[in-house]
Chain A
Amino acid sequence: MSATGTDRVIPDRLQSPFQRRLKSWETLLLAVAVAIFVLNSFASPYFLNAWNLSDATFNFTEKAMIAFAMALLVISGEIDLSVASIIALASTAMGAAVQIGAGAPALIAIGLVVGLACGAFNGVLVTIMGLPSIVVTIGTMSLFRGIAYIVLGDQAYGGYPPDFTWFGRGYVFWVISFELVLFFALALVFGVVLHKTNFGRSVYAIGNNPTGALFSGIRVTRVKFILFLLTGLMSGVAAVCLTGRLGSTRPSIAQGWELEVVTMVVLGGVSILGGSGSIPGVVIAAFVMGLVTFGLGLLNVPGIVMSIFIGLLLIGVIAAPRIWTRLRSRAAA
């Protein structure tokens, strides 16, 4: 550096917006997604087929719907591990309603209301009682599914009407399924809410510093309560889609999905400690997970290997930027 102290330039921003975008998490993830897409196209002759790709979207759309709400919740510093159990309870309630002759509108209303009610229950325990969300939702995870098991035991509810199952199996246009349309619509809604509204800013603020947010006039408990309601509601939406797709309800429905949803959120670049993350990241992460499982499925890779691959992907994508910064700071020093 030949410049002396006097003519040092202080940049008005650290990186140009273009540079920042280039180095962002979303870009990295998008590159991974494109790489997986290309690799899959070469690895299997069946991959590049409109119907097959359309089928593959069902592997992630329902989980991603919950992941949007979960992303907001995690950004605010909370978590909800009961989402899969909410699906089970909402699906059981809808199944019971079918037995007494409820039609599609009533079923959807029931699914969403049960989802909201479960979300409210979690929200009350966390925000009003002040309990840690991870403990509360591990408890309600057993509670909600437990109720479904008590109601159903080893039985199943079936007989859903076709205008209800359409929500899980129907196509809006050609290969574009209703679920895929809903996925994009919800991505847009959650993206706008998080990135363009005061509510979204307060979510980030709470995640970064809840006390600071409180003293800045943000109604922290109210925002958190709304986020639990939203997560419950989205679990209800997912319950409607999944129940429609399966056409039946068993208490084991959506078993283990809570971890897949959280994986999707974390892979999407949402900090598990709260305070940062984006909806576009979660959208790309949903596609990455969907493409990986479908691509490996086409090659008949056993599920165990697939889980290992997803695990490595998660660690790899999370570790890569940190290793990169560490290497750079070492090179600079």
Chain B
Amino acid sequence: MKVAKRILAALAAVASLALPAAAQDDPVRIAIVVKALGIGFFEAAAEGAEEAAAELGNVEIIYTGPTETTAEGQIEVINALIAQGVDAIAVSANDPDALVPVLQRAMDRGITVISWDSGVEQDGRQMHLAPSSDELIGRMIIQLAADHLPDGGDVAVLSASATATNQNTWIAEMNAVMDDYPNINVVATVYGDDLADKSYREAQGLMQSYPDLDAIIAPTSVGIVAAAQAVEDAGRVGEVNVTGLGLPSEMAGAIESGASQSFAIWNPIDLGYAATMIAFNLSQGNATAEPGGTIPMGRMGEVELDDTLSGAMSDPFVYDASNIEQFRDIF
């Protein structure tokens, strides 16, 4: 009853607004709600959203977010978006639980709601777009090392802590596909605990223990920087390639010096682009979010949804000397 009343009120509001404007030319308004404004990663995502809007045509992007990364701030922003009757909200959430009530209200009023990057619980969204998946990351980190070892060789893994869930999952996924790389041996896995100095010493230790080491895979942004520094300091640039997951801003030096040939992380531009495409397709009825279903996302292909209605966008994006300059200022 209450919901019905609300929907009626919302409909009345929409109807009264639609009258003066030319109904057919109304742009599809998609709100990109980020954790906080002024963060390079999200500015880049907004760039991607604008790219998608230009491609789709007649789409207006509302890029917004609170000043600080609080759930309460995002709720105020989302309230204002509901009031404007936007067509879709795509949110990177500061809190997976606290945003659920307000997002449910948005959906009650006919607004398409998806989360991306940092998700909300299933009740509060129609689907979630993760930048990548554990499986894709696991495959990617060994691929990065293999790309520069055509004749095979010895690689070692420098992880975060031994109990880090993310890293352990990715390493397990990597081991699952090692049969595809018969010439490559993983000689050791060491733990730098995501501390710069400990990671540095562990990387030094690896080079001493395994003089023939060809690559260090560090699936952690702290470890990869420390390992690259250790390789540079040991004068082993060109002999030991450091790769894994890192941030372009922190890895630009290592790419320049050659300590790292390439590394990977999600691409925020692609992420903003894909989130916008999905929000558009769901709001326009071009696709529906259902377990096992797929939603098209323009040049990024299609996202496949699992039982929790979340899906992974793509492989992590590879950064090397050809594109590091473009991204080093972004995040």
**Which residues of A are interface residues toward B (Cβ below 8 A)?**
44-47, 49-52, 55-56, 58-59, 156, 158, 165, 169, 171, 174-175, 242, 245-248, 250, 252-257, 293-294, 297-298, 300, 302-304, 306-307
Contacts and interface: CB of A to CB of B under 8 A. Distances in A.
27 contacts: A46-B17, A47-B83, A49-B83, A52-B82, A58-B79, A59-B76, A59-B79, A169-B101, A171-B2, A242-B72, A245-B101, A246-B72, A248-B95, A248-B98, A250-B98, A252-B95, A256-B68, A256-B70, A257-B72, A294-B76, A297-B77, A298-B84, A300-B64, A300-B80, A303-B67, A303-B68, A304-B37
A254 B17 CA distance: 35
Interface of B: 2, 5-6, 9-10, 13, 17, 36-38, 62, 64-68, 70-73, 75-77, 79-80, 82-85, 95-98, 100-101
Nearest to B31: A300
Contacts of B70: 252, 255-256
A156 B97 contact: yes
A255 B80 CA distance: 20
A246 B98 contact: yes
B76 A248 contact: no
B98 A55 contact: no
Nearest to A294: B80
A45 B65 CA distance: 21
B79 A55 contact: yes
Contacts of B95: 156, 246, 248, 250, 252
Contact of A294 (B2, B36, B68, B79): B79
Contact of B98 (A44, A247, A303): A247
A46 B73 CA distance: 20
Contact of B83 (A46, A156, A171, A306): A46
Q: Most B CB atoms within 10 A — which of A45, A47, A165, A300?
A: A300
Given A156-B95, A248-B95, A303 B73 contact: yes
Q: Most A CB atoms within 10 A — which of B68, B83, B95, B100?
A: B83
Contacts of B2: 171
B10 A302 contact: no
B72 A254 contact: yes
B37 A246 contact: no
A298 B83 contact: yes
Given A44-B84, A304-B38, 12 more contacts: A59-B76, A246-B97, A255-B72, A256-B68, A256-B70, A294-B76, A297-B76, A300-B64, A302-B64, A303-B65, A303-B77, A304-B67
Contacts of A303: 36-37, 64-68, 73, 77
A52 B83 contact: yes
A49 B6 CA distance: 12
B71 A297 contact: no
Contacts of B10: 51
Contacts of A175: 9
Contacts of A293: 76
A114 B218 CA distance: 46
B107 to A, nearest CB: 15
B6 A51 contact: yes
Contacts of A307: 67
B86 to A, nearest CB: 10
Nearest to B79: A55
A55 B67 contact: no
Nearest to B38: A304
Q: Most A CB atoms within 10 A — which of B5, B72, B101?
A: B72
Q: Most A CB atoms within 10 A — which of B36, B37, B96, B97?
A: B97
Q: Most A CB atoms within 10 A — which of B80, B82, B96?
A: B80
Given A45-B17, A245-B101, A250 B71 contact: yes
B80 A297 contact: yes
A255 B2 CA distance: 31
Contacts of A294: 76, 79-80, 83
Contacts of A51: 6, 9-10, 13, 83
B205 to A, nearest CB: 31
Nearest to B71: A246
Contacts of B62: 300
A255 B68 contact: yes
